[in-house]
Chain A
C-alpha cells in the first residue's frame, strides 16, 4: 500500500536560515502519525512546508503519489491536503457556519447554491461537534479557545481531505478541553481519517498515535510506535535536557 504522505530529505526555513535540516517521514493511509518535540525543534515549520505556506529549499513531498513541494497553499489544498494551523486561525469576523462553508471551498460552487451542496457535510460536522451547532451563527472570533479548535478541525474536515494536518491542537487550552478535543480526534481515527498530528505534549500524542516521530533541532531524532518510544528515554531527554 503506498503511503498517503511521503516526505524525503526536506530542508527549509525562513529567509536564508534553514530550520529544517533533512526531515524524512511517512504517513500510511488511515493511520494517525504524531510529530513531537520541544519548541524550536521545527514541527510547525515542517507543517508549513507540507501545506505550501513555505517553499522547501530541498527535498520532496508526495501526497498520494503526487508531488506537492513548491506549490502554493491553495494548490496543495485543492490536491486534498487540509491543514488546521497552529493557533487555530479561524476567520474571526465570519460566523461559525461561514467558516465551515469556506472549509469546503475547494469543491463547493462559488457564487450561489453552495448551502444546498454543503448541507450533508455540514450536518455531519455538527454531529461530530455538537457545540458548534449551538453557535452556528456566532462570530467565530468570540468562541472560546476549545470551540475555536474544534471549529478549525471541523473546517479542515469539510474539505473531504485525503490527509489532515493538525498543528498543536492542545495549545493554550485547559486540560478538560484538551480531553474533549482528543476524544474528537479518536473518533476521527475510528472513522479512518488519515491524520498527521503535531503535539508538544508527548504523553497525550502517544495515546492516539499509531506511529510517532520526535524532532530535535530541525531533524528527526527518534521514531517508532508508542510502545517502542515509551521505553526509550531519548524521547524524554529531547524535552528536558
Chain B
C-alpha cells in the first residue's frame, strides 16, 4: 500500500473529523450547563445550511452570509431551549430527549418542503485547487473546515476564560445553586449555551456544505458521528473532542477505502457503542459519585 495514499486519506479524514469535533463541542457546551443536549442537532445543521444557501442565492456576499447564518443558528438554538428543554429541566425530568427529537423531526419535514428533497451544490468563494503540503494534497475547503472549527472553538474557549460571563457559565456548570446565590441566573446561562451550540451547528453546516452539498439527510449522518466523538471524549471534558474527532475522521477514511463507501458510517457507530460499554463517561471525562 502506497504510504502516500494512506497518508492522504488519513489527513483528509482527520480534517473532516474536525467537523465532527465542532458539532460535538456544541453538545459539550449545553451538557456542561444543563446536563442536556439537542438530539435534533443534525437537523439544525441542515436547516442552517439551507438558510445559508438561501442567503447566498439572494445575493448576499460570503462575508455577510456567514454572520447571518450564524445569527440564525443562535436564534434556532434559543428556540430549541425554550420549546424543548426548559420545561423538562424545570420538572427535573429527561423529557428533553424526546422533545428535542421531536423538534428535529419537525425541522426535517419543514426543510424537505421548503427546499425540496434533492441535494444542492453550495457555491463558495474558496478556491478548489489543492495545495501541496509535505507531499499531501489538501484542498482549501478542507483547510477552511479545520481553521473554522479550531478557530471558533478556540475563540469560545478564550471567551470562557477571559470574560466574567464565561466564568459565570463555568460556575453554573460547576454548581448551579451556588451560582444563583451570587446573582447568576442558571436559566440565562443555559440559554446562552444553547445559543452558542446552535451557532456552532450553523457554522458546521456552512463549512461542510461546499464539500458534501446541501441535502435533507446531511445532518443525520453528521450528528451520529458527532455523538460518538462527544461520548468518547467525555461530555464534560475540554479539548478531547478535537483529538477524538480527528481520530474518527481518519478511521472512517480507512474503513471507506478498505470496506467500501457504504461502511463509512460503521466505525463511528461501533466506536460509540464500545465507548459507552467500556467507559460511559468518556476517555477524558470524570465519573460522578452517587450521593444518598
CB–CB under 8 A between A and B in the complex? Answer: yes
Q: How far is the CA of A91 from the CA of B172 in the complex (A)?
A: 9
Does B276 lie at the interface of the complex (its beta carbon under 8 Å from any beta carbon of A)? Answer: no
Residues of A with C-beta under 8 A to B182: 77, 82, 102-103, 105-106, 155-156, 159
B82 at the interface (CB under 8 A from A): no
Contact B181 A110 (CB under 8 A): no
Residue A85 is within 8 A (CB to CB) of chain B in the complex: yes
Please judge, given known A-B contacts A91-B171, A159-B183, whether A110 and B165 are in contact too, CB under 8 Å. yes
**Total count of chain B residues near the partner, CB < 8 A:** 20
B168 CB to nearest A CB, Å? 6
Q: Are A74 and B170 in contact (CB under 8 A)?
A: no
Q: Are A110 and B164 in contact, CB atoms less than 8 angstroms apart?
A: yes
Contact between A111 and B171, CB atoms less than 8 A apart: no
* Alpha-carbon gap, A90 to B177, bound state (A): 11
Write out the residue numbers on chain A whose beta carbons fall within 8 Å of the beta carbon of B213.
none
Nearest chain A CB to B236 CB, angstrom units: 10
Contacts of A110 in B (CB 8 A): 163-165, 168
B110 in the interface (beta carbon within 8 A) = no
Tell whether, in the assembled complex, residue B183 and residue A89 are in contact, meaning their CB atoms are under 8 Å apart. no
Name the interface residues of B180-235: CB closer than 8 Å to any CB of A: 180-186
Cβ 8 A contact of A72, one of B162, B163, B164, B180: B180
The answer to whether A111 touches B164, judged by C-beta atoms less than 8 angstroms apart, is yes
The docked-state distance in angstroms from the alpha carbon of A156 to that of B177 is: 14
> Inside 8 A of B164's CB, which chain A residues have their CB?
101-102, 105, 108-111, 114
**A102 interface neighbour in B162, B168, B185, Cβ under 8 Å:** B168
Instruction: Pick the residue among B165, B171, B181 that contacts A77 (CB under 8 A).
Output: B181
Complex: how many Å from CA A89 to CA B180?
12
Docked pose: A85 CA to B144 CA in angstroms: 48
A91-B174, A93-B174 as given contacts; A77 in contact with B168, CB under 8 Å: no
Contact assessment for B170 and A73 in the assembled complex, using a CB-CB cutoff below 8 Å: no
For the complex, is A52 an interface residue (Cβ under 8 Å from B)?
yes
| A112 is an interface residue with CB less than 8 A from chain B | yes
Complex Cα distance, B178 from A85, in Å, reads: 7
- A105 contacts which chain B residues (CB < 8 A)? 164, 168, 182-184
Q: Known A91-B170, A105-B168, A105-B182; judge A112-B175 contact (CB<8 A).
A: no
Given known contacts A74-B183, A74-B185, A78-B183, A102 and B167 CB-to-CB distance under 8 angstroms: yes
Cα A102 to Cα B182 in complex, Å, equals: 7
Interface flag for A83 (CB, 8 Å): yes
Given A51-B181, A105-B168, CB of A111 within 8 Å of CB of B163: yes
* B-contact bits for A77-96, CB 8 A (1 contact / 0 none): 11000110100011111100
Q: Please measure, in the bound complex, the distance between the C-alpha atom of A72 and the C-alpha atom of B182, giving whole angstroms.
A: 12
Structural contact, A91 and B181, CB atoms closer than 8 A = no
Which residues of B have CB within 8 Å of A26?
none
Q: How far is the CA of A108 from the CA of B179 in the complex (A)?
A: 15
Name the interface residues of A19-75: CB closer than 8 Å to any CB of B.
51-53, 72-74
The interface residues of chain B lying within 8 Å CB-to-CB of A106 are 182-183
A98 within 8 Å of B (CB atoms): yes
Q: How far is the CB of B277 from chain A (nearest CB, A)?
A: 28
User: With a CB–CB cut-off of 8 A, which chain A residues contact B174?
Assistant: 91-94
Closest to B181 in A: A83
**Whole-angstrom distance between the Cβ of A182 and the nearest chain B Cβ:** 22
Question: Nearest Cβ in chain A — how far from B132, in angstroms?
Answer: 42
Which of B162, B171, B177, B182 has the largest number of chain A CB atoms within 10 A?
B182
Question: A103: which B residues are within 8 A, CB to CB?
Answer: 182
Smallest beta-carbon distance A71→chain B, Å: 11
- A74/B171 contact (C-beta < 8 A), A91-B178, A110-B163, A110-B164 known: no
Q: Report B-chain residues with C-beta under 8 Å of the C-beta of A94.
A: 167, 170-171, 174
| Contact, CB under 8 Å: A53 / B180 | yes
Residues of A within 8 A of B177 (CB): 53, 73, 85, 89
Q: Mark B55-90, 1 if CB is under 8 A from A, else 0.
A: 000000000000000000000000000000000000
Known: A89-B175, A92-B174, A94-B174. A73 touches B167 (CB 8 A): no
Beyond the given A73-B177, A102-B164, A105-B184, could you list 10 further A-B residue pairs with CB under 8 A, ordered by the A residue number? Answer: A53-B177, A74-B180, A85-B178, A89-B178, A102-B168, A102-B179, A105-B183, A108-B164, A110-B164, A111-B165
Instruction: Across the A-B interface, give the 5 residue pairs with the lowest CB-CB distance, nearest first.
Output: A73-B180, A77-B183, A106-B183, A89-B178, A74-B185
The 22 listed contacts between A and B (C-beta, < 8 Å) are A53-B177, A53-B180, A72-B185, A74-B179, A74-B183, A74-B184, A74-B186, A82-B181, A85-B181, A89-B177, A89-B181, A90-B178, A91-B179, A93-B174, A94-B174, A98-B167, A102-B171, A102-B182, A105-B164, A106-B182, A111-B163, A111-B165
